[in-house]
Structure 1
Amino acid sequence: MSAARGLLYLLLSAASWGTAGAAAAVLFGASGLGPVALTFWRSVGGSVLLLLLAAVRRRSVRVRSRLDLAVNGLGLTLFQIAYFEAVRGTGLAVGTVVTLGVAPVLVALGARPLLRERLGRAGAVAVFGAVGGLAVLILGGGEGGAAGRAVHPGGVLWAVASGAGYACITLYGRWRAGRPGPRTEALTTTLHSFLVCALLLLPFALVEGVWPAPGGALRTAGVLLYLAAVPTAFGYALYFTGVTVVRATTAAVIALIEPVSATVLAVTLLGERLSAATLAGAAVLLLSVTALAVAETRAATA
């Protein structure tokens, strides 16, 4: 497969991921589903569709490492449920920007002690810039009203937790790639990670309320099916295909399309109004992450 097609696949996958939060925002309230139940149903639906995809492609779904299963399963669970909590707590735009902005920064900070990767001067500046952008988001977006939607610290903290879950998966993947032994295909790892997520969340979903409200059941089922199919099975399948021919740092920059698409949906579809401080903080955060990715690309080339 050509690099151009790989880039196209990554662009489509990032754009599809940006719609996951919008689907969750649509379901909150009228469906009666909370973040735990929503994550549970997404994991169940995604597992079924990924299993069908593996069967069509005639790929083995056997996991070779229990550690892979535990780390990726727990990390994916934290990443998903905390993200939906962030969307409910502080809105789709801010929740997505913080999650996708914080994750690469946490990866860069964790890579130093865990993988012995040097951050470098440019990386350090990018990390400080990202922290500054996050501070502007929290301190400058505290008031809503006509100026825009308020940024709630609780929702931002959930977004940071979601980014931490994503960072754990990424750091473990980097560490695992440098270890000897057989490799598990990424599609298989993701399938089992979603299964672990569903099993972990089942008892909590039952407590929260796993079944949607009777009213609007058809609409709820349609949105759940979309959530499982497009940003989950379809999005991850495209990502796993495209990432094999595109540099990892390039993929990290392309992933920034997700918060951009989520912000567009938040403003146009959900009617969220963002204050000037919120937009400024988001811009600084995303620019810092872009600078971090560029610094990593230069270091890798050198």
Structure 2
Amino acid sequence: MHVSTMSTSTPSSRARGLSTLAAAGVLWGTGGLLGTLLGRVAELSPLAVATYRLGVGGLLIVAFLLVTRRPLPRGRAVWTRIACVGGLAAVFQSSYFASVSLTSVSTATLITIGSSPVLVLLAERALGRRRIDRTAVLTLGLALTGLALLVGIPSGEVSGGALLAGAGFAVLAAAGFATMTLLGARPVAGLDDLTSTGFAFTLGGLVMVPFADLGFTASLSGAGLLAALALLPTAAAYTLYFRGLRGIGASTAAVMALLEPLTGAVLAAVVLGERLGVVGLVGAALLSAAVIVSARRG
């Protein structure tokens, strides 16, 4: 099904899909900055920030659907997909922050984001949807090298057991995102991207509630940051991502998602004053090149 969809898509539809995926990646890149600021202002743990992000982002979409009187999800296949995406989103978020707590942000980010396109490519190959050629391998190698240089090679300060467990959680997070990507590339009749994202993320947020301390230090700035986090890198970005998947394909979309750490690094340098350094700039250049090559192939 996926291959036939790709073969009949027009250049204009592919261009729209690529621009939609690029927009999603850039919006995702704002999540790190907004989440960091929200954690500071509202005194929230990273897991609590992720829980609020999923739950509130999903509820904003559901509220919009109700106000605009969109048809509600119906049918077993539709609710099965919503439940799967919601569960995968909860696995992705909770496993990522479990990895962060055991290792570090750089280690968890490197393994999670680096593993996702690899897992998608291997899954597509196993399912017979895509042939792994030399260009795909080189593009992926370029992307992973750039990501490692941009994020930073993990230091040896973490014990062997914690590093192994953290790496396991990071791979689990990557598998959750990869599976969500593969599912999103195969639409379900009667379920659009906005409805799927809204109800699935509301469900995913509810699943994470028992595992997070949601004590929120109320303030006007905290409420504004939460609204921005829920709307931009969550509700809007994931809806755009799932929409772009329809005309491009899972493996290309997974590489395009690497725009997230690239955008996050730029925002951290501009807003928070963090310096990339020569190594980080080289990594950003390599990562940009990989995204461009993947987009051209897509």
Which of 210, 230, 235 is the equivalent residue of 2:214? 210
2:147–2:287 Cα contact (<8 Å) kept: yes
Q: CA deviation at 1:169?
A: 0.6
Instruction: Report the secondary structure of 1:170's partner residue.
Output: helix
Q: Aligned residues, how many? A: 277
Give the letter for the 1:220 counterpart. G
Distance of 1:70 and 1:57 partners within structure 2: 23
1:260 aligns with 262
The residue type equivalent to 1:193 in the other structure is A
What is the CA-CA distance between 1:193 and the residue it aligns to? 1.4
Q: Is 2:168 the counterpart of 1:166?
A: no
Q: Which residue of 2 aligns with 1:273?
A: 275
Query: 1 CA distance for matches of 2:148 and 2:257?
Result: 22
Gaps of 5+ in 1: 144-151, 298-302
The answer to whether the 8 A contact 1:16-1:235 is kept is: yes
- Of residues 184, 197, 200 in structure 2, which corresponds to 1:190? 197
Give the distance between the partners of 1:126 and 1:7, measured in 2 at CA. Answer: 17
Deviation at 1:189, TM superposition (A): 1.5
The RMSD of aligned alpha carbons is 4.0
Deviations, residues 183-216 of structure 1 (Å, cap 9, x unaligned): 42222221221122122111112xxx211246xx
130-139 or 267-276: bigger deviation: 130-139
3-state SS in 1 of match to 2:214: coil
Match of 1:109 in 2: 122
- TM-score, with length taken from structure 2: 0.72
Identity of aligned residues (%): 36
- Matched letter for residue 106 of structure 1: L
The aligned residue for residue 122 of structure 1 is 135
Deviation sequence 1:70-126 (CA, Å, 0-9, x none): 32112212333455667887558x876765454222210121223453212322333
Match of 1:69 in 2: 82
TM-aligned CA distance change 1:218 to 1:238, over 3 Å: same
Q: Secondary structure at the match of 2:272?
A: coil
Q: Per-residue deviation at 1:171?
A: 1.8
Q: 1:89-104 counterparts in 2 under 5 A?
A: 90=104, 99-104=112-117
Q: How do residues 17-28 of structure 1 correspond to structure 2 at under 5 angstroms?
A: 17-28=28-39
**Cα pair 1:87 1:155 within 8 Å, conserved:** no
Counterpart residue number, 1:300? none
Q: Check whether the contact 1:97–1:259 (CA below 8 A) recurs between aligned residues.
A: no
TM-score normalised to the size of structure 1? 0.71
Amino acid at match of 1:22: L
Which one of 35, 45, 53 corresponds to residue 42 of structure 1? Answer: 53
